[in-house]
């Protein structure tokens, strides 16, 4: 009976805390050690020591002295204040420390600490708790888009651009007009085209139709409209009126070539090129015969019996037949 009463009591306390916190739309900040930035959907902002784009929680020490974080806690649950406990590390004066919310639960070194939980971009409450159990920083967020942060600036939390490991700045993400589109793709490459490793892979070809070079870093390519970030472009420039081929290898590495971690199949319906969750170009995926491609000419799509990866689509073409659902 005592255990039941204790559970009910804890629930009521948690409920009251959440009610007050949400009602006032406020945050908790006690002292100069606090949560300074949260990124709950890190698609291309920052790659950590694991070479992965994990979400992160940034802690800032505004004191003029270092703080020993041993046995401090960082939690996304109001019911579990010891959900993730800091190891024996410290944060220097005026230092920013990134803690990755990856679920990996490890801290190989101070610069590569990972919680045992992940963040939900549609909303959570994150708390920083000291070694005696006192909440010294707490903030809630909701509906954070891909690669935007909730950052503490001018004594309030605002949505802005991420600045991992450095001072927060108030700046809106600007949409960039990309003069590039999907120009050709192939889904059944049977020894027609060979990559630099000697194997035949399907491909997607992009074309920069603008008069300026474009850096594709951060753009995404996917065969799933519900998961736009299947492949995220590295620092890659496409020159004006030039072509770029991305091999669809399913993750097989190709030296000196771009390769995506997915493959096309007859069950796919779309190919999507996007930036920050916004569509740059989207095309239909049609069923193709072996060694045939589907390509664009003057904004119309055709079947090509001789694909032209990296070049103009100027070989023999057959127009898509609408009644077959292929256009």
Half-sphere CA count of 97, side-chain side, radius 13 A: 29
Q: By 3-state DSSP, what share of the chain in percent is helix, strand and coil, each rounded to 5?
A: 10, 35, 55
Segments in the chain below pLDDT 70: 1-26, 172-176, 193-198, 320-327
In the three-class reduction of DSSP (H, G, I as helix; E, B as strand; rest coil), residue 6 is classed as helix
Q: What is the model's pLDDT at position 275? A: 87
CB 113 within 8 A of CB 99: yes
CB 41 within 8 A of CB 141: no
Domain 180-324 part of CATH 2.60.40 = yes
Sequence-ordered list of residues with C-beta below 8 angstroms from that of 299, at least 6 positions apart, any chain: none
All structural domains of the chain with their residue ranges: 26-160, 180-324
Q: What is the model's pLDDT at position 78? A: 86
Nearest alpha-carbon partner for 284 in 223, 211, 231: 223
Pick the CATH number of 26-160 from 3.30.365.10, 3.40.50.300, 2.60.40.1260, 2.102.10.10: 2.60.40.1260
DSSP string, 211-222: SS-EE-TT-EEE
Cα–chain center distance at 161 = 13
From CA 127, how far away is CA 136, in angstroms rounded?
8
From CA 136, how far away is CA 107, in angstroms rounded?
22
């Amino acid at each position: 009976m005592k255990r039941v009463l204790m559970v009910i009591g804890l629930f009521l306390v948690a409920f009251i805390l959440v009610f007050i916190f949400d009602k006032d739309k406020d945050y908790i900040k006690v002292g100069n050690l606090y949560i300074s930035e949260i990124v709950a959907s890190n698609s291309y902002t920052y790659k950590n020591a694991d070479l992965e784009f994990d979400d992160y929680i940034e802690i800032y020490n505004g004191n003029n002295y270092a703080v020993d974080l041993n046995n401090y806690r960082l939690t996304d649950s109001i019911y579990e204040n010891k959900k993730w406990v800091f190891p024996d590390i410290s944060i220097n004066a005026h230092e920013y420390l990134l803690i990755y919310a990856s679920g990996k639960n490890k801290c190989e070194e101070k610069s590569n600490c990972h919680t045992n939980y992940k963040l939900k971009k549609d909303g959570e409450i994150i708390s920083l708790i000291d070694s005696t159990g006192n909440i010294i920083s707490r903030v809630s967020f909701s509906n954070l888009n891909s690669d935007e942060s909730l950052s503490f600036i001018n004594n309030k939390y605002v949505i802005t651009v991420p600045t991992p490991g450095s001072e927060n700045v108030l700046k809106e993400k600007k949409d960039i007009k990309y003069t590039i589109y999907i120009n050709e793709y192939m889904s059944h490459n049977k020894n027609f085209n060979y990559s630099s490793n000697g194997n035949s892979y399907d491909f997607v070809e992009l074309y920069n139709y603008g008069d300026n070079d474009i850096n594709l870093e951060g753009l995404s390519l996917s065969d799933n409209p519900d998961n736009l970030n299947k492949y995220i472009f590295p620092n890659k420039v496409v020159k004006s009126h030039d072509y770029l081929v991305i091999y669809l290898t399913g993750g097989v590495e190709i030296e000196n070539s771009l390769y995506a971690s997915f493959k096309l199949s007859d069950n796919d319906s779309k190919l999507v090129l996007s930036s920050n969750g916004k569509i740059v170009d989207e095309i239909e995926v049609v069923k193709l015969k072996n060694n045939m491609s589907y390509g664009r000419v003057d904004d119309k799509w055709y079947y090509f019996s001789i694909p032209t990866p990296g070049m103009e689509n100027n070989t023999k073409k057959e127009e898509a037949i609408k009644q077959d659902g292929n256009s």
